[in-house]
Amino acid sequence: MKLATVHTDEGTRAARIVPGGCVLLDDPDVGALLAREDGAASADGEVRPLDEGSLAPVVPRPGKVLCVGLNYRNHILEMGRDLPEYPTLFAKFADALIGARDDIRLAPESSAVDWEAELTVVIGRTVRRASEDEAARAIAGFTVMNDVTMRDWQFRTKEWLQGKTFEGTTPLGPVLVTPDELPGGVRAALALTCRVDGEVMQKGDTSDLVFDPVDLVRYASTILTLRPGDVIATGTPGGVGHARRPPRYLSDGATVVTEIEGIGRLENTARTA
């Protein structure tokens, strides 16, 4: 099953993707749908064409946006670090999120805006101190994020948050895909790429993750309660602009295409705020 959140004249609506388009659901967004006890998404109803320009962040206002740093072996090595014993967690806020075709805002305060393609977990049930089995069952599905990062702000201090959550920077979507539709299920084995102005910058496979999605749900749920609609971005592979010599960053008008097989693609243009 594939779900999306779309803009309509009456506000956002959750939608189920079906052949030929989508069916609008009663819920205002995918997060609200997942929060319902039954979480059912009927395919009954009028099939409408899906306007990709109408796609909102698949979960517009998640209670938590958790992100994992340094979780692909090749990216860890390109950054000159050792493999971690524990996941490196940081957070974003919902104000950072944009839709799959929205513009990425380039804040005038930063001159080092970077890309990070990421497989992202969407939580479907409330879980705390999850066992491996409980963690697996808590995964409603997966989506795509580009964890756009202001590197000059990220590295001002040892804490990364300030470089990670500038408003209007982080596309999330285009859809949520349930694990049963993906090879590997809750431990999905998928290729991902990021292209900037048509050039492949990142090319990886989620089999290179140090901590897989189930590991991350278990670990994060030890710290706090995970609830339906929360998202966990699982980290990025090698090829970020900051690691290049010389470094390369986004500029006004740059196009960023982030794609994960079996889920979909984000197509965003960087624009000066």
Tell me what pLDDT residue 78 has. 73
Tell me what pLDDT residue 231 has. 98
Q: Which two tokens stand for residue 48?
A: 């409408």
| Tens-digit pLDDT profile for residues 215-265 | 999 999 999 999 999 999 999 999 999 999 999 999 999 999 999 999 999
In the chain, what are the domain boundaries?
A: 57-272
The topology under which CATH files domain 57-272 is Fumarylacetoacetate hydrolase; domain 2 (3.90.850)
| Tens-digit pLDDT profile for residues 108-148 | 999 999 999 999 999 999 999 999 999 999 999 999 999 99
256's CB contacts (< 8 A; 6+ apart) are 104, 115, 146, 148, 194, 195, 196, 250, 266, 267, 268, 269, 270
Q: What is the pTM of this model?
A: 0.95
Tell me what pLDDT residue 207 has. 87
Tell me what pLDDT residue 44 has. 77
Three-state DSSP class for residue 244: coil
Give me the phi and psi of 66, to 5 degrees please: -95, 145
Tell me what pLDDT residue 79 has. 72
